[in-house]
Structure 1
Amino acid sequence: MRPTRPGVLAGLFVVFTILTWGLLKPFYADLPIVQWTSIPTVLLLAIGEFYSGWMTKARIERKPNTKPVEPLTVARLVGLAKASAYGGAIFAGIFAGFALYTANLLDQSVPRRDFFITGGSFLACVLLVVSALYLEYCCKVPKDSDEKDR
């Protein structure tokens, strides 16, 4: 499995931002209000992935007071990290497109509320992507001492 490429994540972000912004023009008035619950949910996911990465790195490096980690567990964490990075980039694009559309309507109460909620959700998604990339980085197998000497 290859590492996640930031260029692909940026491309997904841009595409979904443009699509969301374009689709909101005709349909914004018909949508229900945006719920604030996405912000703490995504933040908890980001914190969990960051903590998992930190602990996994310590276990892979065999730090004191840690148990060795099973290879299958590391493979599952890498899969979680890749899925979270792509999903976070897509949802960050959706929330950014929503925030861009509502930025022009800040003089009205409902769009202003939607702007702040989608802006916070966007920031939470960015933290999720960063945490996912960190988790993926922490799951790398360290180089052998023989390879370092060469």
Structure 2
Amino acid sequence: MHFTRPRELVVAGLLGLVLVYVVFQFAYGDLPRIPTLAGITFAILAVIETIMAYTIRSRIKAGRVTSSIGIARSVALAKASSIAGSFMTGGWLAAFAYVFPRRDELVASVFDTRAAVVGAVCSALLVAAALWLEHCCRTPEDDERSTTRGTTG
């Protein structure tokens, strides 16, 4: 498994953007109102992953890593979270792009616009936290090699 590449995040974000926009285009009138705090789960996950990142980082720097399987699981979690967060950021941005211009026509669009903003911000926070966790799981040798070669993984 390799570390997350920017193009993977871009592809996931574009897929989320296109899929959600198409769903809204054809079925917005049949969908229930989006709860304003629907995306807050991503912020909670971002906080958890940030705490994990600082814990793992301090353990690696202190040389107190007892199980590399735990680090590998954290990398897998970080990769999955960054991809999912990117997909959902695209989805929330699509929701925003659909409902924002219609807020004068539809009362539900006003509430859905707020929910889309909260969701997009929280999803972006998850992507950032996941990438930080992934970075903190690198061994010091990986960091030294990437800086000397000028690549990041």
Superposition TM-score, scaled by structure 2 size? 0.86
How far off its partner does 1:24 sit?
A: 1.1
State the secondary structure of the residue aligned to 1:34: coil
CA–CA distance in structure 1, aligned partners of residues 23 and 43 of structure 2: 27
Secondary structure of 2:62's counterpart equals coil
Per-residue CA shift, 1:112-146, capped at 9, x if unaligned? Answer: 110110111011000100100000000001129xx
The yes-or-no answer on 1:43 pairing with 2:43 is yes
Taking the aligned partners of 2:44 and 2:35, their CA distance within structure 1 comes to 16
What residue number does 1:22 align with? 22
Aligned-residue CA RMSD (Å): 1.7
Partner of 2:141: 143
Count of aligned residue pairs for this structure pair: 142
**12-21 or 50-59: which moved more?**
12-21
- Letter aligned with residue 120 of structure 2: F
Report what 1:105 is aligned to: 102
Given the alignment of the two structures, is residue 95 of structure 1 paired with residue 97 of structure 2, yes or no? Answer: no
1:35 alignment partner, SS class? coil
Alpha carbons 1:4, 1:82 under 8 Å: kept: yes
Tell me which moved more, 108-117 or 72-81: 108-117
State the alpha-carbon separation in 1 of the partners of residues 39 and 12 from structure 2. 20
Shift of residue 69, structure 1, vs aligned partner: 4.3
Tell me, in whole angstroms, the C-alpha distance in 1 between the residues paired with 2:7 and 2:128: 14
> Where do residues 51-90 of structure 1 align in structure 2 (5 Å cutoff)?
51-62=51-62, 67-90=64-87
Q: Which contiguous aligned blocks of 4+ residues in structure 1 show a shift greater than 4 angstroms?
A: none
Query: For structure 1, which runs of at least 5 residues remain unmatched after alignment?
Result: none
Structure-1 separation of matches of 2:30 and 2:72:
43
Q: Does 1:121 align with 2:119?
A: yes
Distance 1:72 1:40 in 2: 30
Structure 2 unaligned spans of 5+:
146-153
TM-score of the superposed pair, with normalisation by structure 1: 0.87
Is the CA contact 2:13–2:86 (under 8 Å) kept in the aligned structure 1?
Answer: yes
**Cα distance per residue 1:39-83 (max 9 Å; x no partner):** 3211110011011101100000117xxx53421110110010011
Structure 1 segment 3-22 matched on structure 2, within 5 A? 3-22=3-22
Is the deviation greater in 128-137 or in 38-47? 38-47
